[in-house]
Structure 1
Amino acid sequence: MFQKIPSIHVTELAELKGPIIVDVRENHEFQAGHIPRAKNIPLVKIASYEPQGKIYLICATGMRSKRAAKILLKKGYEVINVRGGMSQWQGAIKGGAK
């Protein structure tokens, strides 16, 4: 049975007040530039992550975060995939330059 992955676009994420954001890119990608309040949990480690409350998953384009969302949804967590990813993020960046 297929489960629809809840998702929003990066522009919608930028409008939210204080969302919990998990960046599933590799550590070197995260260090090169990320959303200031994001936590880095690479996709290869996401299966062992136990989030508290609703989380928003982001990566470079939205593909890895969608895979992470599927994994966490199967475990019963409330997750939202962020379409467009960091490649379309226009907000503040911490780390590298954009």
Structure 2
Amino acid sequence: MFHASVPTVDAASVPAEGALLDVREQDEWEAGHVDGALHIPMGQLMARIEELPEQKLYVLCRVGGRSAQVVQYLVAQGRDAVNVDGGMYAWEAAGRPMTSADGNPFVL
């Protein structure tokens, strides 16, 4: 679906200490997200790019489409970023922890 140059990793391979960037919309974030992830919706990224940590970024969205676009942009800017293949659905399928806005465990 995406150009082969988009660096990609499967959800199970994301290190526990990895810097996660969630580019989904606010309502998606509130429904469930990875605790500790940085949330910057895709449409706000350019205006908030200075908030990104200076380390490898693991970029997430719901299924991987938006995050792949963000990774393409970040790599073009010289940043070290990878797309989490399959997004939050793959994250949940891999048994990785998630939470909701009210702090309760969340399952997609």
Q: Same fold (TM over 0.5)?
A: yes
Q: Work out whether 1:19 is the aligned partner of 2:10.
A: no
- Unpaired runs of 5+ in structure 2? none
Q: CA deviation at 1:79?
A: 0.4
Find the counterpart in structure 1 of residue 96 from structure 2.
91
Aligned partners of 1:66, 1:47: CA distance in 2, in Å?
Answer: 15
For each residue in 1:21-80, what CA deviation from the matched residue of structure 2 results, as whole angstroms up to 9, or x when unmatched? 000000110111011121111111122313211111000001100000111111111101
Which of 49, 59, 63 is 1:61 aligned to?
A: 63
Deviation at 1:17, TM superposition (A): 3.2
Q: In the superposition, relative to structure 1, how do residues 75 and 3 fare at CA in structure 2: closer, same or farther (>3 Å)?
A: farther
After TM superposition, the structure 1 = structure 2 runs for residues 61-80 of structure 1, keeping only pairs within 5 Å, are 61-80=63-82
Alpha carbons 1:22, 1:55 under 8 Å: kept: yes
Q: TM-score, normalised by structure 1?
A: 0.88
Where 1:56 maps in the other structure, the secondary structure is strand
Number of residues paired by the alignment?
Answer: 95
C-alpha displacement of 1:3: 7.2
3-state SS of 2:68 partner: helix
**Contact 1:47 / 1:72 at 8 angstroms: preserved in 2?**
no
The percent identity for this pair of structures is: 28
Segments of 4+ moved more than 3 angstroms: none
Measured in 2, the distance between the counterparts of 1:4 and 1:86 equals 21
Please tell me the root mean square deviation across aligned C-alpha atoms, in Å. Answer: 1.6
- The yes-or-no answer on 1:81 pairing with 2:61 is no
CA contact (8 A) 1:19 1:55 kept: yes
Alpha-carbon spacing, 1:3–1:33, altered in 2? closer, same or farther (3 Å): same
